[in-house]
């Protein structure tokens, strides 16, 4: 039996695969990959992987299965797996909105792990939340897998919805924040590449400050400001325009939609 199988090797599945190999979590001979494309099949086969077109091969012969297909493909692909007993095996799903209870209907007796990595997985900088129905060695292995592409946090299943704005959706919100500043700088005559570099690197270094100090974020804000200075002038304008309320509303809308999709 293979140690691990990946059902769908697209961008996210491929990033997870690369992270596992880079960190020596599994060897190629321990893996079975399910792909849809003939070209991918040939490429992975030539590279020394075990490859299949049939998901049943994974359901039958893998101790752990990472499901990295789109949620709308679930019923079509997984309807054939309910005849198998997944006792002492694990299922890792990265499909947004597909609950543990739903997965348990497909995978009888399995350890079910839901994971929500975000798109920086593509550069091995994902922030992933995980929840599970049983706490055992398979959960430890899953956390090691997602740590191979970034940082991983255990949460409850209910918190998968309420943390979504902080990791799954956060890249888009951060990109929009940076885009607005970069566009304003370019309009003011700054070279676009310089504007992008200044903004993105300042966001990176500010985030590192938040993680590396015991000071509160409020204190960090105060440390940048001086009375009557440039920073406070900008902050006053953001507050005047209800910037924080817009963020709260964004957070609530994201969580509400995640809950709706889960139903």
* pLDDT tens track for 210-262: 999 999 999 999 999 999 999 999 999 999 999 999 999 999 999 999 988 87
* pLDDT tens track for 105-144: 889 999 999 999 999 999 999 999 999 999 999 999 999 9
Domain-wise residue ranges, the chain: 2-156, 170-262
> Would you say 4 and 30 are in contact if contact means Cβ atoms under 8 Å apart?
yes
> What's this model's pTM, rounded to 2 decimal places?
0.92
Q: Which CATH architecture has domain 170-262?
A: Orthogonal Bundle (1.10)
Alpha-carbon distance 179 to 55, whole Å?
41
User: What dihedral angle (degrees, nearest 10) is formed by the CA atoms of 193, 194, 196, 199?
Assistant: 180
CATH class of 2-156: alpha beta
pLDDT at 193 over 80: yes
> Would you say 164 and 256 are in contact if contact means Cβ atoms under 8 Å apart?
no
**Token representation of residue 98:** 């597909």
Of the pLDDT bands very low, low, confident and very high (cuts 50, 70, 90), residue 263 is confident
H or E element at residue 2:
strand 2-7
């Amino acid at each position: 039996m293979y140690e691990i199988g990946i059902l769908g090797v697209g961008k996210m599945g491929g990033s997870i695969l690369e992270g596992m190999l880079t960190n020596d979590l599994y060897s190629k001979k321990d893996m079975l990959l399910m792909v849809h494309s003939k070209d991918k099949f040939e490429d992975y086969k030539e590279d020394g992987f075990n490859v299949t077109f049939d998901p049943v091969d994974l359901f039958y012969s893998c101790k752990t299965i990472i499901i990295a297909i789109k949620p709308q493909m679930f019923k079509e692909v997984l309807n054939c797996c309910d005849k198998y007993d997944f006792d002492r095996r694990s299922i890792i799903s990265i499909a947004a909105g597909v609950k543990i209870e739903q997965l348990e209907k497909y995978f009888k007796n399995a350890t079910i792990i839901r994971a929500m990595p975000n798109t920086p997985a593509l550069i091995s900088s994902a922030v992933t939340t995980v929840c599970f129905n049983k706490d055992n060695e398979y959960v430890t292995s899953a956390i090691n897998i997602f740590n191979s592409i970034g940082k991983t946090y255990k949460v409850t299943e209910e918190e998968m919805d309420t943390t979504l704005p902080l990791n799954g959706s956060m890249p888009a919100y951060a990109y929009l924040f940076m885009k607005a500043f970069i566009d304003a700088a370019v309009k003011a005559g700054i070279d676009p590449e310089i504007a992008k570099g200044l903004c993105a690197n300042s966001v990176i270094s500010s985030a590192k400050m938040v993680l590396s100090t015991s000071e509160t974020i409020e204190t960090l804000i105060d440390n940048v400001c001086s009375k009557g200075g440039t920073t406070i002038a900008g902050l006053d304008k953001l507050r005047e325009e209800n910037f924080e309320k817009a963020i709260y509303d964004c957070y609530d809308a994201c969580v509400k939609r995640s809950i709706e999709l889960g139903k």
